[in-house]
Amino acid sequence: MWNGNDRRELLVRLKATLSIQTSMSLTTIPLIEYFLVLADDDIRIKGTRIGIEHILYEYIHNAKSPEEIAQIFPTVSLEQVYATILYYLQNSTAIGQYLSDWLDYTLKAETAQDQDPTIQRLKHLKLNPVAV
């Protein structure tokens, strides 16, 4: 987890990264332009199939740096990673709930899959291969 100084440094780096130089003037891209909101429970990084939950999971739960996250997801630029983290930091309550809902859904889906008889049979066959 990041401490207060790390967060302040990250915000400074995010603001610098999210600004682009165009024709001798500095233009800031609105943060929402980095995302595609398909539904209340499906926010993706524009131009990718990656949901913000995957980036934020690495950042929050695995304590990965933005640079490490960009290496994990090669279709996501470092700028997009910073934008996702900044979006989370600016909307921590709503995005925190979004992540909580995503984790709950994921756990329920994994539990349902584990109880599926076909999946159980496949796992059994994997552990106990039958000689042909």
How far is it, in rounded angstroms, from Cα 89 to Cα 100? Answer: 15
pLDDT in tens, 11-63: 555 455 444 444 445 567 788 899 999 988 899 999 999 999 999 999 999 99
**Mean predicted confidence (pLDDT) in 1-6:** 55
pLDDT in tens, 63-106: 999 999 999 999 999 999 999 999 999 998 999 999 999 989 98
**Mean predicted confidence (pLDDT) in 101-123:** 85
What pLDDT does 6 receive? Answer: 60
β-bridge pairing 35-39 and 25-28: unpaired
Reported as half-sphere exposure (CB side, CA atoms, 13 A), residue 91 has a value of 15
